[in-house]
Structure 1
């Protein structure tokens, strides 16, 4: 069995999925693994061993790899520290094709996610860190759930998670009230959702996963200028502001803030997290400030899942110039959240 710390009773391994093998996933995994040497983190790559071998050889990364055909085999005979264990769950039938959208690559990517998800749900790994997948490739492979979040949500019983983006260097954390929906549908979704429940769940995640005893949350308005007192919409007056007033008694929630002035003035530094009403409202400033090091976290699930805040990088795949900063940050954050959940559970 893998080594374990006395204060870490559950499995030490964290699953890193290889993502779309025609993208930069294998490269950033290999580069990130080199940074874990000498630390207590113990990753296991899940997905395509051949993609990692090929990338390792082509780019001269000199990472020692040990391949296993199952997680059981890895647990029975783990390699020494300094060697990257790889659980091979699916392999390509031909050569690597950097930058090419492929049904085969989509199938391998989702098989890796499925396997890592099962290991997490079964308590056999601490967390999962997912390299980027390509939605078109996944769809070509026949999957209806073309994203990590949708798949994991359904696998965990239909729990509605919160998409959360975190960047330690800039001290910016952004959650989304609505995710990948047309802009025209956002107002109705905001009106119909249980916003209070969403905010309370986010505050609980900040307490448990991030270890913030008394988190402060900023909530953005939906309309320009947060509607200027109802001149440009009534969602702030009728939905968002009343919800904030109900929760503000505890001193935890403030808003609704106009998004442009809020980010422009750097107000996000005064809060532990920001809740944006729709995708681009929150992610445009986040990616401007934290494109290289930002991390995507799926909050609200019984498993820990993080990923880098970028795509498959098809335009630079196979060239050796991909930055692994975001994946490395995602791996560190996954370990931190797993540890924080343990501490919270032990504290009762």
Structure 2
């Protein structure tokens, strides 16, 4: 019988079986099992050969198995095999079901958090008419949430892009006061709830070079970004900016804030991937449950070759556990 929140497992959804998800999950389990109970959701046929696992139907059994070094598995039946590097659409519905099952376990209190292995969206579309651009949107739909925020984090830096996967030419159009306001509010709340920062210091990048240079290199800072920041400052938020993005990521500057909010994808992801390429974690903020993920894809080119680096998965699991502790406290 599970008696404390710390004994509840962190769920790992299998992700694309033909990618590196199963092998990095097993490697991460070996690294963290002594102090962090895990529960893998997927088809056990897709685990690397020689994996020591046990199938269970009650998440309460995961803690003892994890402590003993045996990977707890809640089986999800899938229609296909797993050939490294070649996605099989027959597995698509099972991959989706593993995500949904993991969310259900966290939502009903049987697990602490979900850590999702990378999916292959084309296979999900071909095999199950998957209607979402990716993990994040599907998780938001499962939670009944309209707007969530993507954070990328490593030991040296946390960043949040306001606009994400849109062409650079489209950023200025998509970047609205409403979107920026919601992103800042969600980020502020998550820093308090999930990271235990009582008064988050949020650095906000400008859109244009030199944050617009007083309107000489763009007016978005004057016309939209600064008014949003001023309005939220009046509500008590500690906001720095808009800042010139080319001077806000060096070591001394990073000491002045807890998270950086950037206006577009590369403005945020280049610094965090430079500082923590192998250990970056993708976190979805604004969900009623905790979700983390390694910051990489399925890596079909190295799947099954023993070359996959589990560092990002390990970091994602440890961050999920830290966030769960912060929520519980």
Tell me the secondary structure at the aligned position of residue 163 of structure 1. Answer: strand
Pairing partner for 1:42 from 37, 40, 64 = 37
Alignment of 1:137-216 (within 5 A): 137-141=123-127, 142-168=129-155, 171-216=156-201
Which whole-Å CA distance do the structure 1 matches of 2:193 and 2:27 have between them?
A: 30
User: Hey, which bits of structure 1, 4+ residues long, moved more than 6 A?
Assistant: none
Q: CA RMSD in A?
A: 2.1
Tell me the secondary structure at the aligned position of residue 209 of structure 1. Answer: helix
Corresponding residue of 1:306 = 292
| Aligned residue runs from structure 1 range 52-201, under 5 A | 52=47, 55-57=48-50, 63-68=51-56, 71-72=57-58, 74-75=59-60, 80=65, 81=67, 82-94=69-81, 96-141=82-127, 142-168=129-155, 171-201=156-186
> More deviation in 255-264 or 331-340?
255-264
1:60 maps to none
- The equivalent of 1:234 in structure 2 is 219
CA distance in 1, matches of 2:238, 2:62: 48
Cα deviation for residue 79 of structure 1 reads: 5.6
Using the size of structure 2 for normalisation, the TM-score is 0.92
Shift in Å, 1:214: 1.7
Which stretch shows the higher mean deviation, 187-196 or 147-156? 187-196
Q: SS of the counterpart of 1:293?
A: coil
Match of 1:22, SS state, is coil
The whole-number CA distance in structure 1 between the counterparts of 2:259 and 2:63 is 39
| 1:51 corresponding residue in structure 2 | 46
Q: Distance in 2 between matches of 1:42 and 1:4?
A: 13
Retained in 1: the 8 A contact 2:281–2:295? yes
Judging changes above 3 Å, is the alpha-carbon distance between structure 1 residues 146 and 11 closer, same or farther for their aligned structure 2 residues? Answer: farther
| TM-fit CA distance, 1:42 | 0.8
- How far is the alpha carbon of 1:217 from its aligned partner? 0.7
For 1:175 and 1:134, the matched residues in 2 are separated by 23
1:232-255 deviation digits (Å, cap 9, x = unpaired): 321110111122223345461111
**What is the CA deviation profile of residues 29-58 of structure 1, one whole-angstrom value per residue up to 9, with x for unaligned ones?**
10111112321x110001121111xx133x
Please identify, of 136-145 and 263-272, the stretch whose mean Cα deviation from structure 2 is larger. Answer: 263-272
Q: Which runs of 5+ in 1 are unaligned?
A: 58-62, 344-348
Partner SS for 1:145:
coil
Distance 2:17 2:136 in 1: 19
* Counterpart-to-counterpart distance in 1, 2:119 and 2:94: 10
| DSSP 3-state at the match of 1:270 | coil
**Residues 106 and 224 from structure 1, CA distance in 2 versus in 1: closer, same or farther, beyond 3 angstroms?**
farther
Q: 2 CA distance for matches of 1:75 and 1:198?
A: 36
TM-score computed with the length of structure 1 as normaliser: 0.87
Q: How many residues align?
A: 325
8 Å CA contact 2:9–2:112 kept in 1: the answer is yes
Q: Tell me, what secondary structure is at the counterpart of 1:298?
A: strand
Shift of 1:108: 2.9
